[in-house]
């Protein structure tokens, strides 16, 4: 592991505990490291500091020194240096550590400051927690409990503000709940680079709004919902659907591009309700694109393949594999793998191709990168295919060469692992000419034309790994049970490998990884269970010369360079 | 003891018969002579004169002007800007208005001297939106000065160039706060900046070192450059040098603007001798000495303690009438000289209603950036409005004080104190009026006429 460069450490004392932290660290972060909670609303570690909520007020002091000799003044009672406490509280978010600084967070003054801010935030707050989506993950609720007085002295009328303002297609604003922390404004300006939000009106009547004629419709708009500390911004998709405390959280990875944003999939009783970003400071910080959040809808989308079919008739996996074995025996087989498959599936796909002596191809999906978290390569795992040796060069967008082989009669059977061959450029005539063994999740032209159809699982229904653009291997876990009638991808592939005369391989991720670690040099000594939650950077130097499609983005610099840690910030 | 004579330094020509605000009239009265001499000197000399003069800012805080200039980050390599704070919005204050409307060239001369002294090449006059006439006058004055080569790329042939621009605000009190003003000047919402790190002297306008000075302060710079810091410091009293314009409003016979040497006149002299005392049949009840945000003084209260007189400490025992009108004395008794707006209330005024008025102003003007001021100012306004218009409760006074205590000292800018101090002081000094307000409202008026609400 590469050690970070040594930085100047500054020692501060927080509630009597000494800690050395890097220069420039603010008091909230320093306090966090000694286990002291400094509450806040407007502060966000990934955004600029504005210091407007005043919740993080703390008491500061400096060690007393004799003005003449500069020698520390020792308090005879304690035998330690006396501390001159500053009577005016300071914000923890906007105050950087300085040598010899002392901080108190448990004094009466700090307690009163927090009680005061809490009371002020609540006087015009609607207190509609029973119908608020944020309930259960609301900072205002948590900190009112932790730091508030617990009763109200407010007998006036509360301010009335708009309750349902659509800021954009995916974000709804309840103005009465807004505490004007400006996190969403700063996010749009600083991270999404789409300066579209601002306040109008003054004082307590201030209102969040879009600039005239603009909408909050950039592809990162839902991050504002995530960072909203209260229930002011809600997702139109998730709004009023489910109480958050009923939801199970599963670690996953955004499969929409090779950026590989880390995600949390929130589900209950087999149904997914939302996807939110999961913090990974080396990949996506705490952000993800809106487009990745709706991917869960594919799980219950129309056209989901629900049964094994052989020659159009409903069948079972065993018969399908036997039918495929018959086709394999005739020879002339080609394998089309997928950059959307997990690394484990790609490993098995390679095994299948090797067993069949067939060439393996991938279909590339290159679009335009947004420079943030949707990269140009819309396949999440092309690098996985490189790592396991399924392919050795970057795929092309169409299967022209395969089409030519079909036309020439060289190829008579095509195994497609999740790729729609028609969409990848094969004509209807070509599809009609070959026997297709199709593994996939949703019906399409290939599944319609296939002799053997094996329904498989979406990324939310299985576990595995993707290798993102940084060559970082990241795990995703099964969030919900697979659709009825669908086969485990690994099981189906392992059976096909065996049917093709290949080795008998484990069909679960754990046992498969023993084979992977043994065969794939880059992954040697690794196991699935040992991959950290925030991924592991692989040695991608062997492929550094390939002309990858991705451009510079958050935490990514192309041309085999090291990930740019601070990219896209400030 | 009779009041001393006014010493009109800044307002020397304000009321003169035939004195107009054009360049010709200003030059006829010796205008721009100081600038002519100043640009022949070394800039550092002028800065030194200002430091020696002991000039304190006239905008409200009374911060020493020379110290402010010396805090400038001169090594950054960035341009230094001068911002003239002409956003005179503190209720009860109307001194800058007269300078701008009647003697704009005095401000321009002071500004250009300040620019020269600090090697500033761009100055912005930020004038409040409610002074459209003032903005026009200033723009005309700048045009005249430019024609006369007093402003422009090559001032008086010295090779030193300085441009002055007028920027009109949109009518927000918070734009008078220097960092809010800078934000507004940059074209943004005037949310005051957090300090640290955004001290104007280091990271001001466009993140460059910036001087923000009040209109009256810059006029004083002209006189300091004229007479020298040494001579200027002999006007007024030690640490409270120069002259000060008092804008007296409210229940006195002759409200208006009066310029005196700082500390040479007491509150009693100012109100009784200069302003003619209370209206017939009335008695003074309260006075706010430095603009509406300053803490109120109650006639009849005594201030006792020790103060420095020269090198020794002397006891003092003052009534409101005995307070010398200088920065330090007013600060010592718990209020402030502020902007010089003296607001007088006599026994006909209800302190609850007066505070309701002040609270209405501050809740309307709170920018809304930080929580305590945003929510606290409106809450206080709602309480006082309810007291005045509806049902007052005995516990409202203590509640008001408690709310105010939760604001002061915990906000981004000084607005927190500005909106909390009136409430804190009104409750502290007139608490009985607040606790007895419900009964007073319920009681029939002595003359039997129903109260108009």
Q: Do A159 and B378 touch (CB under 8 A)?
A: yes
Q: How many CA atoms lie within 13 A of A470 on its CB side?
A: 24
- We report the CATH number of the domain holding residue B213 as 3.40.50.11540
According to the model, what pLDDT value does residue A2 have?
A: 56
Say whether both B35 and B92 belong to one domain: yes
B27 and B168 share one domain: yes
Predicted local confidence at residue A6, as pLDDT: 62
For residue A201, the chain B residues in CB contact (below 8 A) are 368
User: Rounded to whole angstroms, what are the CA distances from B304 to B318, B320, B335, B422?
Assistant: 6, 11, 14, 22
End residue of a domain, out of B293, B314, B346: B346
Do residues B146 and B293 both lie within one domain? Answer: no
Residue numbers in A near B365 (CB within 8 A): 202-203
Query: Cβ of B364 and A53 within 8 Å?
Result: no
pLDDT at residue A569 is higher than 60:
no
Q: How far is B362 from chain A (nearest CA, A)?
A: 9
Q: Cβ distance A148 to A255 under 8 Å?
A: no
Helix/strand/coil for B116:
helix
Question: A201: part of which helix (H) or strand (E)?
Answer: none
What average pLDDT does the structure give for chain A? 94
Task: Name the domain count of chain B.
Answer: 3
What's residue B450's pLDDT? Answer: 62
Which residues of chain A neighbour B364 with C-beta distances below 8 Å? Answer: 202-203
B392 in the same domain as B340: no
Mean predicted confidence (pLDDT) in A296-311: 96
What percent of chain A stands above pLDDT 70?
97
Nearest CA in chain B to A208: B368
Q: Determine whether the interchain pair B196/A94 forms a contact, defined as Cβ–Cβ distance below 8 Å.
A: yes
Residue A568 banded pLDDT, cuts 50, 70, 90: very low
The domain limits of chain A are 9-106, 126-300, 309-523
Q: How far is B191 from chain A (nearest CA, A)?
A: 10
User: Which residues of chain A are at the B interface, by a Cβ-Cβ cutoff of 8 Å?
Assistant: 49-55, 57, 87-89, 91, 94-95, 112-113, 115-117, 119-121, 123-124, 153-154, 156-157, 159, 179-180, 198-199, 201-206
Pairwise CB contact (< 8 Å): B366 & A202: yes
* Chain B residue with minimum CA distance to A117: B372
Find chain B residues with C-beta within 8 A of A60's C-beta. Answer: none
Among B368, B402, B412, the residue with its CB nearest the CB of A180 is B368
Residue from A95, A154, A181, A204 to probe the interface with B (highest B Cβ count within 10 Å) = A204
Nearest of B401, B49, B172 to residue A201 by alpha carbon: B172
Residues B268 and B398 in one domain: no
pLDDT of residue A344: 97
Q: Is the pLDDT of residue B446 over 80?
A: no
- Would strands A171-173 and A83-85 be described as parallel, antiparallel, or unpaired? unpaired
Answer whether residue A561 shows pLDDT above 50: no
B448 lies in some domain: no
Q: Strands A464-467 and A313-314: what pairing? A: unpaired
Q: Which residue of B has its CA nearest to A57?
A: B410
> Is the CB of B374 inside 8 Å of chain A's CB atoms?
yes
CA of B38 to nearest chain A CA: how many angstroms apart?
Answer: 40
Taking residues A266-281, what's their average pLDDT?
A: 97
Per-residue pLDDT tens over the stretch A401-443: 999 999 999 999 999 999 999 999 999 999 999 999 999 999 9
Question: Which residues constitute the domain of residue B118?
Answer: 23-234
Please give the pLDDT value at position B449.
Answer: 66
Task: Give pLDDT, residue A450.
Answer: 96
- Mutation to test the A interface, candidates B368, B381, B392, B411, most A Cβ within 10 Å: B368
One domain for residues B95 and B176 = yes
Taking only the tens place, the pLDDT of each residue in B314-332 is 999 999 999 999 999 999 9
Residues in chain B within 8 Å Cβ distance of A156:
379, 382-383, 386
Given a cut of 60, is residue B453 above it in pLDDT? no
State the helix-helix crossing angle for B104-117 and B132-147, rounded to 10 degrees: 60
Cβ neighbours of A49 in B, within 8 Å: 194
At A357, is the pLDDT very low, low, confident or very high (cuts 50, 70, 90)? very high
Instruction: Report the pLDDT averaged over residues A214-220.
Output: 97
Closest alpha carbon within chain B to A91: B410
Q: Averaged over A230-252, what is the pLDDT?
A: 97
Average pLDDT over residues B63-71: 95
Residues of chain A with Cβ-Cβ distance to B406 below 8 Å are 112, 115-117, 119-120
Q: How far apart are CA A295 and CA B364, in angstroms?
A: 47
User: Taking CB atoms and an 8 Å limit, are A202 and B172 in contact across chains?
Assistant: yes
Report percent pLDDT > 90 for chain A: 90
DSSP-derived pairing of the beta strands A333-336 and A360-361: parallel
Q: The sheet that has B256-261: what strands, in order across it?
A: B256-261, B243-250, B341-346, B284-288, B297-298
Same domain, B220 and B261: no
* Percent of the residues in chain B that have a pLDDT greater than 90, as a whole number: 92
Which residues of chain A lie closer than 8 angstroms to B382, CB-CB? Answer: 156-157
Assess B375–A contact: CB distance below 8 Å, yes or no.
yes
Question: Which of B346, B365, B394 is the endpoint of a domain?
Answer: B346
Q: In this model, does residue A179 exceed pLDDT 80?
A: yes
Which of A51, A87, A121 has the CB atom closest to B375's CB atom? Answer: A121
> pLDDT at position B451, please?
59
Cβ <8 Å between B375 and A124: yes
Yes or no, beta carbons of B378 and A204 under 8 Å apart? yes
Q: Report yes or no: B196 at the A interface, CB cutoff 8 Å.
A: yes
Query: What mean pLDDT is predicted for residues B18-45?
Result: 96
Q: Is the pLDDT of residue A524 over 80?
A: yes
| Residues B229 and B165 grouped into a single domain | yes
> How far B61 CA sits from the closest chain A CA (Å)?
17
| Confidence tier at B189 by pLDDT (50, 70, 90) | very high
Please give the CATH number for the structural domain made up of A126-300.
3.30.70.20
Note whether A51 contacts B376, CB cutoff 8 Å.
no
Judge if B27 and B64 occupy the same domain. Answer: yes
Which residue among A53, A113, A206 sits closest to B368, beta carbon to beta carbon? A206
Q: Looking at residues B270-297, what average pLDDT do you find?
A: 96
- For the stretch B121-150, pLDDT in tens is 999 999 999 999 999 999 999 999 999 999
CB contact under 8 A, B383 and A123: no
Contact at CB, B382 and A52, closer than 8 angstroms? no
Q: Residue B210 forms beta bridges with which residues? A: B81
Question: What is the average pLDDT across A39-67?
Answer: 95
Give, as one character, the DSSP assignment of residue A366: B
Tell me if B18 is assigned to some domain: no
| B207, B136: one domain | yes
Q: What is the pLDDT of residues A484-520, one digit of tens each?
A: 999 999 999 999 999 999 999 988 999 999 999 999 9
Q: For A9-106, CATH number?
A: 3.10.20.740
Residue B449 lies in a domain: no
B374 to A204: CB separation less than 8 angstroms, yes or no: yes
Q: Is B374 close to A95, i.e. CB distance below 8 A?
A: no
Which CATH number belongs to the domain containing residue B425 in this structure? 1.20.1440.230
Of A54, A159, A206, the CB nearest to B372: A54
Q: Could you report the per-residue pLDDT of B424-436, keeping only the tens digit for each?
A: 999 999 999 999 9
Asked whether the beta carbons of residue A120 and residue B369 sit closer than 8 angstroms, the reply is no
Answer whether B295's CB lies under 8 Å from B336's CB: yes
Whether residue A385 is predicted with pLDDT greater than 50 in this model: the reply is yes
Closest Cβ opposite residue B194 in set A51, A57, A88? A51
Contacts of B253 (CB under 8 A, 6+ apart): B275, B276, B277, B278, B279
User: Which runs of E-coded beta strand occur in B224-378?
Assistant: 236-237, 240-241, 243-250, 256-261, 284-288, 297-298, 302-309, 312-319, 341-346
SS3 A321: helix
Please say whether the beta carbons of B83 and B123 come within 8 A: yes
Mean pLDDT of chain B: 94
The residue of B169, B379, B410, B413 whose CB has the most chain A CBs within 10 angstroms, and thus the best one to mutate to test that interface, is B410
Mode of pairing for the β-strands spanning B210-214 and B81-86: parallel
pTM: 0.93
**Of B180, B204, B234, which residue sits at a domain end?**
B234
Pick from B366, B368, B382: CB nearest A156: B382
The pLDDT value recorded for residue A33 is: 95
**Residue B410 and residue A54: Cβ atoms within 8 Å?**
yes
CB-CB under 8 Å, B409 with A88: yes
Task: Name the minimum distance, in Å, from the CA of A208 to any CA of chain B.
Answer: 12
Q: CA-CA distance, B262 to B236, in Å (whole number)?
A: 5
* CATH numeric code, A309-523: 3.40.50.740
Close Cβ partners of B388 (under 8 Å, ≥ 6 residues apart): B352, B353, B356
Q: What is the pLDDT of residues B231-268, one digit of tens each?
A: 999 999 999 999 999 999 999 999 999 999 999 999 99
Q: pLDDT at position A72, please?
A: 87
Picking from A40, A51, A52 by the largest number of B CB atoms within 10 A of its own CB, the best residue to mutate is: A52
| Pairwise CA distance, residues A495 & A498, whole Å | 5
Q: Which residue of B has its CA nearest to A41?
A: B371
Residues B227, B131 within the same domain: yes
The answer on B173 and B315 residing in a single domain is: no
In chain B, whose CA is at the least distance from the CA of A120? Answer: B375
Check: CB of residue A197 under 8 Å from CB of residue A184: yes
Of B364, B379, B410, the CB nearest to A89: B410
């Amino acid at each position: 592991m590469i050690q970070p460069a040594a930085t100047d450490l500054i020692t501060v004392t927080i509630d009597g505990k000494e800690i050395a932290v890097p220069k420039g660290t603010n008091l909230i972060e320093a306090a966090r490291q000694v286990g002291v909670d400094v509450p806040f609303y407007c502060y966000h570690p990934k955004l600029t500091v504005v210091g407007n909520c005043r919740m993080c007020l703390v008491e500061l002091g400096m060690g007393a020194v004799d003005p003449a000799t500069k020698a520390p003044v020792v308090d005879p009672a304690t035998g330690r240096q006396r501390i001159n406490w500053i009577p005016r509280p300071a914000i923890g978010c906007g105050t950087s550590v300085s040598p010899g600084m002392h901080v108190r967070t448990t004094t009466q003054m700090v307690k009163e400051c927090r009680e005061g801010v809490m009371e002020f935030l609540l006087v015009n707050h609607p207190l509609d927690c029973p119908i608020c989506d944020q309930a259960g993950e609301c900072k205002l609720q948590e900190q009112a409990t932790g730091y508030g007085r617990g009763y109200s002295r407010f007998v006036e009328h509360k301010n009335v503000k708009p309750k349902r303002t659509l800021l954009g297609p995916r974000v709804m604003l309840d103005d009465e709940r807004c505490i004007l922390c400006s996190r969403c404004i700063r996010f749009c300006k600083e991270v999404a680079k789409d300066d579209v939000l601002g306040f109008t009106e003054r004082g307590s009547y201030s209102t969040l709004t879009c600039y005239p004629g603009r909408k909050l419709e950039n592809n990162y708009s839902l991050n504002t919902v995530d960072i909203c500390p209260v229930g002011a911004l809600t997702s139109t998709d998730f709004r009023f659907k489910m109480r958050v405390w009923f939801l199970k959280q599963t670690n996953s990875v955004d499969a929409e591009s090779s950026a590989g944003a880390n995600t949390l999939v929130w589900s209950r009783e087999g149904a997914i309700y939302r996807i939110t970003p999961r913090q990974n400071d080396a990949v996506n910080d705490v952000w993800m694109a809106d487009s990745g959040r709706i991917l869960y809808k594919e799980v219950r989308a129309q056209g989901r393949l629900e049964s094994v079919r052989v020659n159009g008739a409903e069948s079972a996996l065993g018969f399908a594999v036997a039918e495929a074995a018959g086709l394999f025996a005739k020879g002339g087989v080609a394998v089309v793998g997928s950059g959307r498959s997990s690394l484990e599936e790609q490993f098995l796909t390679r095994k299948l191709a090797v067993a069949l002596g067939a060439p393996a191809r991938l279909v590339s999906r290159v679009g335009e990168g947004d420079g943030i978290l949707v990269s140009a390569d819309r396949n999440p795992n092309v690098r996985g295919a490189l790592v396991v040796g399924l392919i050795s060069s970057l795929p092309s967008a169409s299967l022209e060469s395969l089409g030519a082989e079909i036309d020439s009669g060289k190829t008579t059977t095509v195994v497609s692992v999740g790729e729609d061959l028609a969409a990848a450029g094969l004509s209807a005539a070509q599809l009609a000419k070959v026997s297709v063994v199709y593994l996939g999740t949703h019906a399409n032209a290939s599944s319609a034309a296939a002799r053997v159809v094996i329904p498989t699982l979406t990324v939310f229904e299985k576990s595995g790994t993707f290798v993102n653009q940084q060559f970082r291997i990241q795990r995703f876990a099964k969030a919900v049970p697979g659709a009825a009638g669908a086969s485990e991808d690994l099981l189906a592939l392992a059976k096909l490998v065996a049917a093709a005369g290949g080795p008998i391989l484990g069909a679960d991720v754990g046992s498969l990884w023993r084979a992977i670690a043994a065969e794939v040099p880059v992954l040697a000594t690794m196991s699935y269970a040992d991959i950290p939650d925030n991924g592991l950077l692989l040695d991608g130097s062997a492929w550094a010369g390939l002309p990858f499609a991705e451009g510079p983005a958050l935490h990514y610099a192309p041309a085999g360079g090291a990930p740019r840690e601070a990219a896209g910030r400030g | 003891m009779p009041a001393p004579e006014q010493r009109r330094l800044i307002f020397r020509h304000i009321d003169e018969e035939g004195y107009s605000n054009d360049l010709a009239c200003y030059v006829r009265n010796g205008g721009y002579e100081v600038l002519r001499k100043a640009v022949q000197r070394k800039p550092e000399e002028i800065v030194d004169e200002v430091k020696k003069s002991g000039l304190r800012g006239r905008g409200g805080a009374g911060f020493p002007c020379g110290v402010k200039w010396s805090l400038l980050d001169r090594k950054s390599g960035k341009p230094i800007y001068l911002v003239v704070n002409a956003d005179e919005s503190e209720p009860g204050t109307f001194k800058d208005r007269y300078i701008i409307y009647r003697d704009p060239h005095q401000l321009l001369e002071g500004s250009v001297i300040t620019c020269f002294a600090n090697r500033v090449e761009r100055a912005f006059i930020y004038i409040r939106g409610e002074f459209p006439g003032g903005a026009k006058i200033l723009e005309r004055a700048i045009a005249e000065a430019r024609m006369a080569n007093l402003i422009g790329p090559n001032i008086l042939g010295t090779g030193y160039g300085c441009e002055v621009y007028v920027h009109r605000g949109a009518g927000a009190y918070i734009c008078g706060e220097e960092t809010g003003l800078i934000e507004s000047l940059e074209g943004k919402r005037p949310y005051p900046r957090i300090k640290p790190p955004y001290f104007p002297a280091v990271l001001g306008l466009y993140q460059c070192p910036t001087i923000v000075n009040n209109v009256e302060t810059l006029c004083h710079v002209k006189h300091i450059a004229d007479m020298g810091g040494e001579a200027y410091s002999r006007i007024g009293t030690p640490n409270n040098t120069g002259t000060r314009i008092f804008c007296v409003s409210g229940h006195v016979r002759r409200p208006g603007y009066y310029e005196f040497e700082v500390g040479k006149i007491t509150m009693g002299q100012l109100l009784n001798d200069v302003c003619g005392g209370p209206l017939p049949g009335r008695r003074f009840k309260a006075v706010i000495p430095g603009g509406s945000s300053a803490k109120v003084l109650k006639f009849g209260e005594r201030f006792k303690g020790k103060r420095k007189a020269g090198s020794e400490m002397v006891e003092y025992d003052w009534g409101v009438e005995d307070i010398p009108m200088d920065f330090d004395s007013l600060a010592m008794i718990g209020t402030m000289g502020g902007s010089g707006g003296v607001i007088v209330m006599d026994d006909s005024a209800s302190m609850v209603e007066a505070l309701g008025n002040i609270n209405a102003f501050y809740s309307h003007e709170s920018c809304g950036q930080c929580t305590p001021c945003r929510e606290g100012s409106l809450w206080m306004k709602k309480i006082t409005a309810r007291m005045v218009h509806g049902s007052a409760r005995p516990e409202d006074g203590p509640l008001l004080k408690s709310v105010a205590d939760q604001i002061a000292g915990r906000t981004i800018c000084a607005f927190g104190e500005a909106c909390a101090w009136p409430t804190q002081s009104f409750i502290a000094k007139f608490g009985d009026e607040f606790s007895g307000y419900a009964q007073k409202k319920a009681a029939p008026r002595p003359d039997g006429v129903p109260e108009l609400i």
